[in-house]
Amino acid sequence: MPVETKAPDTQSIGPYDLLSKIAEGGMGTVYRGRNRITGEAVAIKVVPKHLLTNLVFLKRFEQEYTTAKALDHPNIVKALDFGREGETPYLVLEFVEGESLGQRLDRVQRLSERDAIGIISQVAQGLHKAHKAGLIHRDVKPDNILITSDGQVKLTDLGLVKELEADQNLTRTGRGLGTPHYMAPEQFRNAKNADVRCDIYSLAATMYHMVTGELPFKSLSPLDAWMKKIHNELPAPRQILPALSERMDWAIRRSMHSDPNQRAATCREFVEDLTGQSTRRISATSTGGIPIEDLWYMVYKDEDAVIHTVKGSTEGIRRSLTQGLLGDASNIRVSRSKEGPFETLQDRPEFRDIAMELIDLPNQITAKLPTPPPLPRPASTPTSAPVMPMSMPMPTPPSGSVDSFIIPALPSAVPADPAWTPHIPLERTRRTSEWVKWVAMILLAMAAGVAAFFLMPWVLSLRLFW
């Protein structure tokens, strides 16, 4: 907590004693207080005198209590009471012993990826609860994230919360409420348009600040920052800190995209993007020598439209995708169990980053590549594993409970890459080898022809000389 100073003249409000000042700003003063009846320590937010005639602000102040009271979640600061002392309204909140994320960043500058994911995952849990209740925070930022002395994280300051279906006319058209550097570009233009993906953008911007130690679009005016945002001119996190993992860099850039449709759709998906792990429980039952938590069944089409079914580990499949051994990524379906349901790679956080990059490649690039000559194909050997037709509609992934999702365990270090390669059919490997041989022979013939063309006059001149 910051250094506390004695409260001004007013020493009590309603049934609460004001012990000391915690924070003060243009929108109100927060005191550390005590309930005189129960002795409970509380935080009390008091409206400043200059805003007592602002009806819109007073309505929003009361809305903060109504919203926080309805959201009972361990990662959201609880609202305990709302009252008035004369004409002055006050809001009583759970007292959080600790510091804000903003204060921590001021003290340590930046956090490790592991610590940052641990904090943002808890914020995402609370925000997920609000979104399920049809509420948008609209001001997610480090100063609104509190961290207790034992590491619990709580989201606070719900005064700008908006209901998805009704804004209660508290936001004027064309006005962007929130903090500019963490705000999504569409919210900057008009806060009435704020939706779940605006909060996702702010989560990603907060993560950007945590892992790089720099404010997104720092040293820019709000207008200049907005222009940079709408043109996707965000310096990549790895440009600021090259030691960051590629996954962290990709997850942040994806959810800070100017197009809301390109961002993670939910808090759950954003956490999955950061960790590369599912927040759903694993139900696989057969390992086949691979740890049960890392077993995948996969069906895909090769370049001859032949469907194959294989199983393997996460790293093995990722490596094969990177090396282009599995063909068109949009044709691949994976599942944790042999029976399914099978899902696209984009639906699985373990492969989403690679899949999106592969599938987003322009088709015209591959169209320019030379087509190998047709080669005789030996009879294929049927496989005993079940094959899922590619035309089968993909089931909707389970959404989990309404209030929360599973935060994946974070490894202390990146695991070693296991020596495993998917069971690519021998037929395909043989065709690839023969194609490489043909290309090598053609190149050698061309080289011989060029050499003969340039050396022949020299050889003829030697014969004439002798």
CA dist 207 and 264 (Å) reads 14
- 3-state SS, one letter per residue, for the chain: CCCCEECCCCCEECCEEEEEEEEEECCEEEEEEEECCCCCEEEEEECCHHHCCCHHHHHHHHHHHHHHHHCCCCCECCEEEEEEECCEEEEEEECCCEEEHHHHHHHHCCCCHHHHHHHHHHHHHHHHHHHHCCEECCCCCHHHEEEECCCCEEECCCCCCEECCCCCCCCCCCCCCCCHHHCCHHHHHCHHHCCHHHHHHHHHHHHHHHHHCCCCCCCCCHHHHHHHHHCCCCCCHHHHCCCCCHHHHHHHHHHCCCCHHHCCCCHHHHHHHHHCCCCCCCCCCCCCCCCHHHCEEEEEECCCCCEEEEEECHHHHHHHHHCCCCCCHHHCEEECCCCCCCEEHHHCCCCHHHHHHHHCCCHHHHHCCCCCCCCCCCCCCCCCCCCCCCCCCCCCCCCCCCCCCCCCCCCCCCCCCCCCCCCCCHHHHHHHHHHHHHHHHHHHHHHHHHHHHHHHHHHHHHHHHC
User: Which of 193, 178, 186 minimizes the C-alpha distance to 138?
Assistant: 178
Query: Can you tell me which residue has the tokens 């005789």?
Result: 376
Q: Which listed residue (17, 72, 115, 139) is catalytic?
A: 139
Is 139 in the active site?
yes
As annotated, the active-site residues are 139
